[in-house]
Amino acid sequence: MAGIAPWGLLALAAAHGADPQSTGHAVRTVIVVEGTELPAVKVGDVVRLSRSAAAGRGEMSAVVHGPARLVSTTDVRRFVDGRPPLGAVVREFEIRAEKPGTATIQVETKDPVGKTSQVQEYRLLIE
């Protein structure tokens, strides 16, 4: 949009009903769970579960059974003062409640070096 002054873009956005401070994307709510108990949720809600493993040697996965579905898996990279801290790798799983009922979510962490595996099972009540 060459030739339009910055204040002209604000006016254009306001004329179309857009908030000049927003990105134009809808705001979504994510339920972040800490611990082993999940709250009851409504259809359409997104639940985020996080898991960590030793850096360079952990494998994490999630499986969902029932009226919910895994919609996103994200590897989270943390930085402190511009540098990555030593230690764990974090993976986040986002699950969307699709219809009423009870879903079972199994999050597995494997350590192929130590040849160990840990499974955490969650029950999600969808209203």
pTM higher than the cut 0.85: no
pLDDT of 115 reads: 87
Q: Look at residue 84 and tell me if it is in a domain.
A: yes
Dihedral-angle region of residue 115 (phi above 0 means left; psi in -120 to 50 means alpha; beta otherwise) = left
Q: Look at residue 17 and tell me if it is in a domain.
A: no
pLDDT of 7 reads: 39
CATH, residue 57: 2.60.40.2020
- Per-residue confidence of the chain (127 residues) as pLDDT tens digits? 444 444 333 333 334 444 545 667 788 889 999 999 999 999 999 999 999 888 878 889 999 999 999 999 999 988 889 988 887 889 999 999 999 999 999 999 998 887 889 999 999 999 9
Nearest-angstrom CA–CA distance, 105 and 94: 11
When divided into structural domains, the chain yields a total of 1
Dihedral-angle region of residue 44 (phi above 0 means left; psi in -120 to 50 means alpha; beta otherwise) = left
Q: Look at residue 22 and tell me if it is in a domain.
A: no
Q: Look at residue 97 and tell me if it is in a domain.
A: yes
Q: Look at residue 16 and tell me if it is in a domain.
A: no
Q: Look at residue 49 and tell me if it is in a domain.
A: yes
pLDDT of 112 reads: 83
The one-letter code for the residue type at 94 is E
| Structural domain for 32, as ranges | 27-126
Q: Look at residue 80 and tell me if it is in a domain.
A: yes
Task: Give the residue carrying structure tokens 């952990």.
Answer: 58
DSSP 37-54: PPPPB-TT-EEEEEEEEE
Q: Look at residue 85 and tell me if it is in a domain.
A: yes
pLDDT of 83 reads: 87
